[in-house]
Amino acid sequence: MNDYQPEWKIYLWRKMLVGHSDETVLHSIRDFIYFDESEQRDLMLKEAQGSIDAINTSYTKAISTKTPMEVDSGDALSHTERFYNSNVENAFLGLLGLNSETPAGLTLSELYITPKYIEKYQQDVRRRAAQEEKKRIASISGGHAYRSEKADAYLRDKFCGLGSTIFNKVQNSQFLTITDLVTLMQINDPLIWQNLTFKIEIHETALRKILSDYLDEFRTGDLLGAPKMRYFSYPKQREKLIEAIKVLTEKYDSKNLRVTFEELARAGGWYLKDENHFRFYETMFSLEKENVIKIIDLVKEEIIISLTRDFMMDQQAIDEGNHPFSGTAAETAYFLDFDPKTRELVLNKEYILSTPNFSSENHNFIEYVFARPNEKITKEEIETAIKKSLGKSFHQILNDLGFKGELRKMFFPSVSKDGIIFENSISYKDFEDRKIDTKKLALDIKKLHKLRSSKK
């Protein structure tokens, strides 16, 4: 099981897809850090204030209602993992990770540290040497000899902290290798990153797949959170964010709408309550993957979105109670019942798929396969059991019984000329495994007749 990625890394992946970098342009690490230190500090303080407000709100509610004080048990995400993290090494690690994927999400080339780094390092050596000399002289007058081994090691390093091989490359204006950069990461000298330039080629298809594969694991609940981190299931996060987006779009325009996590939390009514249980960026990017929204850009903490036609269809399905993707990964989403007396084939005890004629091919077929779920059944096997030949193909029979489109993919994942597999009790995870289009499925179900005795 894979872990959740830091928010800053997911933000980096998607931000890089907003506009392709020109591979002819030299970049620095700062080009891929989207928040400065001041902005990061302000957002950290804002989150801290939010935590204080949440506690005060719970306390006030407990006093007014005379009930025990309820404080959210879920931990907040670490600031080092937040989307606004401005660490230069993190940014490089993110790029390096994409460069190392198979296939690579991007290619780093012409890695170069300007010789000015050596000049600046030597200037710093002279400055620190002067400071050390002042301390030494002051210590003599005070009656004891001052000596700093750490400072001495820094001042004596003739390779400026780079090692001989990399030093020679930098001094001679030669390009570095990825291995060289990995070595430099262990030095932890900000001067290195300030003087590093490179070219980058983004491989859009591969990068989109890296993001898409991660989002698939997120949506099916297959990612492991850190200790004390408790997240709602994706279906619940999805539902809450769509409801909040709907509130904002009813008030503002549905095109080029700027939204933040805080604004959606306020619009959805869960501000200062459940924020720690959401993965905002994963959920928003998943909505884009499902074509519910279109992401125009990421600008600081804002995501600029436009609603798609599928959003309207999706919302209509939710309003009518037909939306198929609204439970935990292992939870049963859909199941069938077949009544041998009435011959009604019923979905979730609510919708009638069909009522085959007594002793017809359709009746004999569904009666036989319904009793044998998860087994590979051949045409010859059915004909032997019912002592009749099947004049129609499996595809024709399934159409007659109402298994069309996504309903067929859901309950009959394997159909061929000679064999078939029927599966009942479909989980939400099966939607992902079988690539069920949930919007189309909602529309397919909407076309069915309701069972008269069913109750919502």
Helix (H) or strand (E) holding 109: strand 106-113
**Per-residue DSSP letters for 237-263?**
HHHHHHHHHHHHHHHS-SSSEEE-HHH
Alpha-carbon span 98 to 93, nearest angstrom:
9
Alpha-carbon span 297 to 215, nearest angstrom:
18
Question: Domain 230-319 is in which class?
Answer: mainly alpha
Q: Which of 442, 432, 427 is nearest to 318 (CA)?
A: 442
Pairing of the two strands 345-347 and 332-334: unpaired
Q: Which of 343, 335, 333 is nearest to 422 (CA)?
A: 335
Contacts of 80 (CB under 8 A, 6+ apart): 6, 87
Give the pLDDT of residue 319: 56
Half-sphere exposure of 132 (CA within 13 A, CB side): 16
Give the pLDDT of residue 368: 93
Please determine whether the domains at 230-319 and 332-450 fall in the same fold group of CATH: yes
The domain segmentation of the chain, as residue ranges, is: 2-205, 230-319, 332-450
Give the pLDDT of residue 16: 92
Distances 437 to 6, 64, 286, 293, 323 between C-alpha atoms, Å: 29, 47, 14, 16, 11
- Which tokens sit at 165? 């091989």
Give the pLDDT of residue 447: 82
The answer to whether 356 touches 366, Cβ cutoff 8 Å, is yes
Helix (H) or strand (E) holding 214: helix 204-219
Q: Which residues of 203-220 are buried (b: 16+ CB within 10 A; e: fewer)?
A: beebbeebbeebbebbbb
Question: Which stretches of the chain score pLDDT less than 50?
Answer: 323-325, 328-329, 454-456
Is domain 332-450 given the CATH code 1.10.10.10 in the classification?
Answer: yes
Give the pLDDT of residue 454: 46
- What confidence tens digit (pLDDT) does each residue in 41-67 have? 999 898 888 877 777 777 676 677 767
pTM of the model: 0.67
